[in-house]
């Protein structure tokens, strides 16, 4: 299986791809306020490109635990100028991190290529039909509740089984709406409606999600499940914990890693891919 976006080919199973996080928000859990103006956002994007990123994921609404929802207008005002300016200078694939169909539509029209929906297409009833009409890839993630409520909804009878069932249903709905199966990427949603033990369990069982026969994105970067293990309250101090979690995800079948620390995780991918996929990339 392969996916081509602009002049970039994604050959699933050959190597691991890096999605760099660009939060143009004032309140994201790890880097809120650092890149919420056009100049700093573009500088961060250029730095990630220089360090080997494959996709830049631009988000204008924080999805950290307890985050408040924002208006459509606010989200558009945050993300569209960055997408337009970035697209004018690079062919790097851009994903829009949103749960709103109107934002997805505007972002794709502005130059984005992928829709990354943390709700798996459940928050906005127009999302799946909109993506089908746009004919772009969509990332379907598992979540319970909303960012405001998700950490109160962590009771599962069968953690992996229930997440697999949710993803199967959303995949079927996406295809029924006209989204090509080759345009669907799944994400089990580490930390979204899962406690520490459940996030670790998901990482241990990632290979079970390969039964869906779709590329898989995994987001572990700086996440709070590492906090008690590392005794690190500051999310930015979890870079090497993130590295360990990223290697584990690669070994269990992750195709894309969504990360903050691109240079460090690029090196993790280079070594992990040489070991796990017999794929060696050489820097120019």
Residue numbers annotated as active site: 223, 258
Q: Name residue 9's beta-bridge partners.
A: 4
Beta bridge partners of 11: 2
Strands 256-259 and 217-218: parallel
- Sequence length of the chain is 284
Stretch (H or E) spanning 187: strand 184-187
- Phi, psi dihedrals of residue 4, rounded to the nearest 5°: -115, 125
Mark residue 18 as left, alpha or beta (left: phi above 0; alpha: psi -120 to 50; beta: remaining). beta
Q: What is the dihedral of CA 122, 147, 56, 220, to 10 degrees?
A: -110
Residue 117 DSSP SS3 = strand
CA distance 125 to 148: 19
- Whether the CB-CB separation of 17 and 255 falls below 8 Å is answered with yes
Distance, in Å, from the CA atom of 193 to the CA atom of 186, rounded to the nearest integer, reads 16
């Amino acid at each position: 299986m392969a996916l081509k976006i602009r002049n970039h080919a994604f050959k699933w199973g050959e190597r691991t791809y890096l999605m760099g996080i660009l939060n143009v928000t004032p309140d994201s859990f790890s880097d809120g306020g650092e890149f919420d103006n056009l100049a700093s956002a573009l500088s961060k994007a250029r730095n990630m490109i220089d360090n080997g990123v494959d996709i830049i994921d631009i988000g204008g609404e924080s999805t950290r635990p307890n985050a408040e929802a924002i208006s459509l207008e606010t989200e558009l005002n945050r993300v569209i100028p960055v997408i337009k300016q970035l697209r004018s200078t690079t062919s790097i694939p851009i994903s829009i991190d949103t749960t709103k169909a109107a934002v997805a539509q505007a972002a794709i029209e502005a130059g984005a290529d992928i829709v990354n929906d943390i709700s798996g297409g459940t928050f906005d009833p127009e999302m799946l039909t909109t993506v089908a009409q746009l004919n772009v890839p969509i990332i379907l993630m598992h979540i319970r509740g909303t960012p405001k409520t998700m950490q109160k909804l962590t009771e599962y009878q069968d953690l992996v089984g229930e997440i697999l069932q949710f993803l199967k249903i959303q995949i079927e709905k996406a295809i029924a709406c006209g989204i090509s199966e080759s345009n669907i990427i799944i994400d089990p949603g580490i930390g979204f409606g899962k406690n520490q033990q459940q996030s670790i369990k998901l990482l241990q069982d990632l290979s079970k999600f390969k039964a869906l026969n779709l590329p898989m994105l995994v987001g572990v970067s700086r996440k709070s499940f590492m906090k008690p293990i590392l005794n690190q309250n500051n999310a930015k101090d979890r870079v090497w914990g993130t590295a360990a979690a990223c290697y584990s995800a690669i070994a269990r079948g992750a195709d894309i890693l969504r990360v903050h620390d691109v240079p460090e995780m690029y090196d993790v991918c280079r070594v992990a891919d040489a070991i796990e996929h017999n794929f060696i990339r050489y820097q120019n």
